[in-house]
Amino acid sequence: MGITYEQIYKVVTKIPRGRVATYGQVAAVAGIPGQPRQVGYALNALPDGRSIPWHRVINAKGQISKRLESWCEQTQRELLECEGIAFDANGRVSLSQFGWQPRPKRALRAATR
């Protein structure tokens, strides 16, 4: 059985305000390690009106990925900056400072008991 976009969206909704995750990281947490493009496809297909924080997903270099329409990149940067995420002179986000560290599933289960 393949991964559904809804599973990817569920992971993306867990990225907290003021944090970012990479496409590869989202893929791994969603159960499809090594398939970051699937995350990109899912986010590109995100229906209008869904409250999924798509802007919190960036590439492994800490950069906003290039898009056909440059306004998308600027919008993403503005949304991230509004959450307090800083970019360096090369347009990169420090993943060590702003990267999301999801809790392991075991810890999540133990916390809900």
Residue 105 banded pLDDT, cuts 50, 70, 90: low
**Residue 55 to residues 17, 39, 70, 72, 104: CA-CA distances in angstroms?**
10, 12, 14, 9, 23
Task: Write the DSSP symbol of residue 56.
Answer: G
Single-letter code of the amino acid located at 37: R
Domains and their CATH numbers in the chain: 5-111 (1.10.10.10)
Tell me the per-residue pLDDT of 22-81, one tens digit each, with 9 for 90 and over: 999 999 999 999 999 999 999 999 988 889 999 999 999 999 999 888 789 999 999 999
Evaluated on CA atoms 25, 30, 32, 33, the torsion sign reads: positive
